[in-house]
Structure 1
Amino acid sequence: MYKNTLRKEAHAWKQIIELRLSEQEASMLRFYVDELAITDLHWGMFIPAIKGKELGHGSNIQGLETTGTFDPKSDDFIINNPTLTSRKWWPGGLVADIGMKFGNGAYNTMDNGVLWFDHVHIPRDQMLMRVSQVTRESKCVQSDVPRKLLYGTMVYVRQTIVANASCALSRAVCIATRNSAVQRQFVSQDGGPETQVIDYKTQQNKIFPLVATAYAYKFIGEWLKWLYTDVTQRLQANDFSTFPKAHACTAGLESLITSTTADAIEECRKLCSGHGYLCSSGLPELFVVYHYQKNKFWGQNSFSFSDTYYLSQVSENRSLSAKIN
């Protein structure tokens, strides 16, 4: 399954090059290759493997059990996992695969693995130290790069998550609406053909609000793209005045929209009655994948924090603004 997905990814890249597709066209092509792959993250950005998540710890970075000890003699950092719960969980399969995950295909096309360090030496000059450096004398030195610029990537990721939510919900709503238009139940009162399921008020009361929600989330996603572009331009000019607003909006909307989208996809599945259980409907895999994406950053890392934490950030926007500024 993993190898087949990589072959599809490679073919998609070949088509992009041969057809000279634009960035938007390439993204849509990848979107319709309906399997997730370990390379997906690099379609939007390139980052090294993130190994902050441990078997026994999640977003509490300060509570991680992994140790990093600096050795002045060798000029190395010595990384070690002293316990079972300190082993790195969910990175790309590096040492061992963590096993099958929820769903038939879904994230099982991703090589999520476990990694553990046994006193591994990493040269000090090979650490990622653009913002903060550690000297040979074990002193921490801050660079002149404004630390607030680091938040730009976080805003980008959040607005992307919201945009993806509108796409996922649109697919689910489209499937449920088409099924309701094709399915017929019970003879009409005038003796004509059976009534289309979508003509029943009870079905309309469930589907139509979801259709409207899909459109609304699309518009919100476009607005967040504009907000990200505006904030990025301001940050580059050392103008941080709008960042607290962007931080609060993206945090709150990500939490709200991902939760409601996950529930809406399940509602669409139920609106298709028994057909919603068929893998050929597309809904079971969409349900599993989206729920997984809501909680994992493409199967490699947490979406940072739980919904509760994000909502608390919105409610504490004033204190956050004071900290950031």
Structure 2
Amino acid sequence: MQVQHLNQPTETSPYCSQANHPLQGCQQVTSPSPSQSNSVSRMALPETSKYSQGSVLDGVNPDLASERQTASFSVEKLTVWLDGGVEHTRTRRAVVEAIECDPVFSRENQYFQSQNERYEAAVRKAVHLHKKMHEMGWTEDGPEFKYIYRAVSGDIAFLLHRIFKRSILMLGSDQQIAKWIPLATQYQIIGSYAQTELGHGTYLQGLETTAVFDMTTQEFILNTPKISAMKWWPGDMGRSATHTVVFAQLYIHGKCYGVHPFIVQIRSLQDHSLCPGITAGDIGPKMNFEHVDNGYLLLQNVRVPRENMLNKFCEVQPDGNYIRRGSPQINYFTMTTVRISLLADEVLTRLMKACTIAIRYSAVRRQSKLMPGEQEAKILDYQTQQEKLLPPLAAVYAFHSINNYLQELFDRGYREIQRNNFDTLPELHALSSGFKALVTQYCTSAVEICLRACGGHGYSMLSGLPSLYTNILASCIYEGENTILLLQTARFLVKCLKAVSTGQPVPPSVTYLAAVKPGKCPAKNKSDFLCSDIYTEAYQHMAARLIISTAAKLQDLTQSGVKKHDAWNLCTVQLAQAAKAHCHYITVKNFAETVEKLKTEAGIQKIMKHLCDLFALHGIFSNAGVFLHDGYISGPQMDMVTSSYLDLLAVIRKDAVPLVDAFDFTDKTLNSALGSYDGQVYQRLYEWAQKSPTNTQMNPAYKRYLKPLLHNRLSKL
């Protein structure tokens, strides 16, 4: 049975037979404001912004249409700013259009698939993507590549293949790159990345897999010495990969030289059978990612040639002589790059989607009455709903800015590493670790808030929110468990504080530790807390105080005779708190600086200033204790913060829907019955529910259980 929309669409996109998502354009629901019209015409973007998803004028829920009518800024202009320029927006939309018009990439009925169906579909899409890229002329170093996985937006295999290649590019010699990268690029081999073990994850120094150099055969012999050393969790390992980068403890003449990466073949290129000495398979069902064949790997006297140790920075010569070039931490550099790309490509995108779904739904869901005698109110009009959804929305924009900051830092650092200058590694490692922890933890909590803010319908898989939540939850664990990462950042901060105290230079992100001034917050009234200097200094003071006080406690413990490692353990809760405070401060400072640079974009700057203020004040409001602790902010000032924070909710609420529209997600990308551009929530929920196999199959329980139960009772009656 098909349910007809109350307002059945009469047009579809000129690009696809099925529509996708109008941002702003001539198929828009309501007339754009003059500023929007001027902006769009000035930029002369292709009309891909009209990719309608079966929604035209009268097909859009009036409650959602009215939200777009009064935007205080040009949505299109904000989209372009988020993308980094008109050309980027044009390229991204072209990639999305090409992907979504291809039926192989369809996500229809994905929520009803079994694990095997999802895995097979993910592999099919990955294989087809390789063909598609060739057909479209897209390359991995071309402008389109960064948008492909956002466009595919869902189950796709071989993501660890990208990390396999990145490891070789980062850690391999020119000869190794020349040998392996063409094979991997043409998918003549499929790679994985085997680092995590059953017994060890983030603590890489504790990995137990061994690689012993056999000088007589010029080979490394790799072994899994015990059950805890078995590689566990690598994606694409369970059923797909032919090769993997294995991290193992290197032994030469009985001496251990620490963890190093080795390229190991695990499956035959002829029939995909496991190679001699290899035991591998799938680790079983998980909370999500059922399309990914996360695997296990056991190695028994597996021999690889000496040339298979990635040796750009470390090399074992034929005579067994070990040569190191640069920092020993360079072998972990791949993980630094993965963490930075993870934030933009996966974590932030998922929060953007969750905010889009929850805010659009909250603009059409009506519940209870604000005023007696009036119709039921939009739930977005309730302050409590605004307080749930608008801080995560502000965080999206804050973390977007910090991602740009990290990417620039990484690019500079990588250029220096290419020149064999490793001075930037400590700061880069510390910031990538700390921000991975802060952003994933915040975004995971925020996605859960979005889900719960949608009530019962948010719990439905068809809302798209449960899969967003279970996917983003995993990000708190993989690529480094967050607590461990925060402590790595804390160790960097303590070292920098010590350097500052002795007058040594420190990296730019921690120079504020050399300029700590005692004092009180100078705010006199609540409007003062809308001054970025006021709240940025409050964050700086708070971060510096936590770092200094925790370092002092650490020093006091060691001076009193407590062993260093015991003293560290006794301070870890406060050390993690200090690391998080440092990253929070950098985020607020960076967001405020980003807003300041928008002076030439007055319309965007105003709403970005509101979002920056909200993000900063929400952090103070939610963590009042650390700001009140030493009296830097007083009780009355905290009341001012609360008042300004709550006032901002009502201001930003007016632009909430346009702010998520600016993310420019198509309906196919969102794959949500609650979050579609047209806001036809209830019709879409019912239509999608009809696709469930349980509604077309014979009830398996009726004949065996229900029928005897019902007939037995009827006979007694």
Place the TM-score, normalised by the shorter chain, in its bin. Answer: 0.7 to 0.9
**Residue type matched to 2:367 in 1?**
Q
Q: Is the alpha carbon distance of 1:191 and 1:10 closer, same or farther for their aligned partners in structure 2, counting shifts above 3 Å?
A: farther
Matched, 1:78 2:221: yes
Structure 1 residues 21-77: Cα deviation after superposition (integer angstroms, max 9, x where no partner): 584544333223232434224457534533222222223334333333333333322
Structure 1 residues 126-167: Cα deviation after superposition (integer angstroms, max 9, x where no partner): 332232222333321235x67676676444323212223221
Question: Aligned ranges for residues 305-316 of structure 1 at < 5 Å?
Answer: 305-316=480-491
Give the whole-Å Cα distance in 2 for the aligned partners of 1:129 and 1:60: 22
The answer (yes or no) to whether the contact 1:166–1:221 under 8 Å persists in 2 is: no
Structure 1 residues 206-249: Cα deviation after superposition (integer angstroms, max 9, x where no partner): 11111111111111112222222222233334555554433332
Matched, 1:18 2:199: no
Structure 1 residues 169-200: Cα deviation after superposition (integer angstroms, max 9, x where no partner): 11111111011111101245252321111011
Matched, 1:5 2:106: no
Matched, 1:202 2:389: no
**Residue type matched to 2:196 in 1?**
K
Matched, 1:286 2:472: no
Matched, 1:162 2:347: no
Report the counterpart of residue 29 of structure 1 in structure 2.
148
Q: Is the alpha carbon distance of 1:133 and 1:161 closer, same or farther for their aligned partners in structure 2, counting shifts above 3 Å?
A: same
Shift of 1:125: 3.2
Give the whole-Å Cα distance in 2 for the aligned partners of 1:19 and 1:161: 26
Matched, 1:118 2:291: no
3-state secondary structure, aligned to 2:389: helix
3-state secondary structure, aligned to 2:193: coil
Unaligned runs of 5+ in 2: 1-117, 168-190, 240-279, 500-505, 508-717
Report the counterpart of residue 610 of structure 2 in structure 1.
none
The answer (yes or no) to whether the contact 2:343–2:436 under 8 Å persists in 1 is: yes
Q: Is the alpha carbon distance of 1:189 and 1:67 closer, same or farther for their aligned partners in structure 2, counting shifts above 3 Å?
A: closer
Matched, 1:277 2:492: no
Aligned residue among 153, 160, 166 for 1:46: 166
Question: Aligned ranges for residues 1-325 of structure 1 at < 5 Å?
Answer: 1-20=118-137, 23-42=142-161, 46-47=166-167, 49-91=192-234, 92-93=237-238, 95-103=280-288, 107-143=289-325, 153-164=334-345, 165-189=347-371, 191-238=373-420, 240=422, 242-296=424-478, 303=479, 305-317=480-492
Report the counterpart of residue 300 of structure 1 in structure 2.
none
- After TM superposition, the score normalised by the length of structure 1 is 0.84
Give the whole-Å Cα distance in 2 for the aligned partners of 1:56 and 1:257: 26
- After TM superposition, the score normalised by the length of structure 2 is 0.40
3-state secondary structure, aligned to 1:49: strand
Larger radius of gyration: 2
More strand by share: 1
**Residue type matched to 2:147 in 1?**
M
Report the counterpart of residue 514 of structure 2 in structure 1.
none
Identity %: 33
**Residue type matched to 2:344 in 1?**
A
Q: Is the alpha carbon distance of 1:310 and 1:71 closer, same or farther for their aligned partners in structure 2, counting shifts above 3 Å?
A: same
The answer (yes or no) to whether the contact 2:327–2:422 under 8 Å persists in 1 is: no
Give the whole-Å Cα distance in 2 for the aligned partners of 1:100 and 1:191: 52
Q: How many residues align?
A: 313
Give the whole-Å Cα distance in 2 for the aligned partners of 1:149 and 1:239: 11
> Cα RMSD between the aligned structures?
2.8
Give the whole-Å Cα distance in 2 for the aligned partners of 1:82 and 1:41: 25
Of structures 1 and 2, the one scoring higher in RCO (CA 8 A, sep 6+) is: 1
State which drifts further: 11-20 or 191-200.
11-20
**Residue type matched to 1:2 in 2?**
Y
